[in-house]
Amino acid sequence: MKRIIACFLLSMALLSFFACEDVLDAEMTDPFAAVIETGGDSAQTKTPEQARQAATIEETVLIDQAGVKITAKSLHEDTLFGSTLNLLIENNSGKDLTFQCRNASINGYMVETMMSVDVVNGKKAMGGKRSVDTLTFLAEDLEENGIGEITELELAFCIADAESWDTITETEIVTITP
């Protein structure tokens, strides 16, 4: 019964997230809508297209071990909840797995993340604009630490059995430089 209620609440949260993101996308069509901190007391105004391109990453394989491969595909700094890192997760481990992010930092500051992805054995999960498996760095953490531009990401993943939630491995910290 608890799982049914949890699934229902998660579904409602996702529906509201998608609806809010559509509104945010519509607002971002205004060329004066995005202001990005550049440090100090000054701010540089950028169009939404420039804001989306402020920090980019090259496609980078973060983890490739024991039948599991995690690839960072893209970084976006202008999403509803904060900045997001889109991941391609491939599971050929022989087990259904749950992936979560642990020990994340941006520009040397520890930050909270949102991500929990179940990937069935033999399948892939691709994070994207409308996907719950995108790794999100909360905007309030970035603001609290004065982070206006992402220059370095460090993170580690916890990989667990999807059925029992027993931890299979915790990866080493990987670094991404936009």
2-176 maps to which CATH number?
A: 2.60.40
End-to-end CA distance of the chain: 44
CA angle 136, 22, 78 (to 5 degrees): 40
pLDDT along the chain (178 residues), means of 10: 66 60 43 36 42 67 93 82 88 95 91 91 76 78 88 94 94 91
Boundaries of every domain in the chain: 2-176
Backbone angles phi, psi at 47, to 5 degrees: -70, 160
Q: What's the pLDDT at 93? A: 95
List, in sequence order, every residue forming a beta bridge with 169; answer none if it has no partner: 159
Is residue 58 classed exposed, middle or buried when 0-12, 13-18 and 19+ CB atoms within 10 A define those classes? exposed
Cα distance between residue 16 and residue 135, in whole Å: 18
Residue 90: its H or E element: strand 82-91
- Is the entire prediction scored with pTM above 0.75? no
**CB-facing half-sphere around the CA of 47: CA atoms within 13 A:** 4
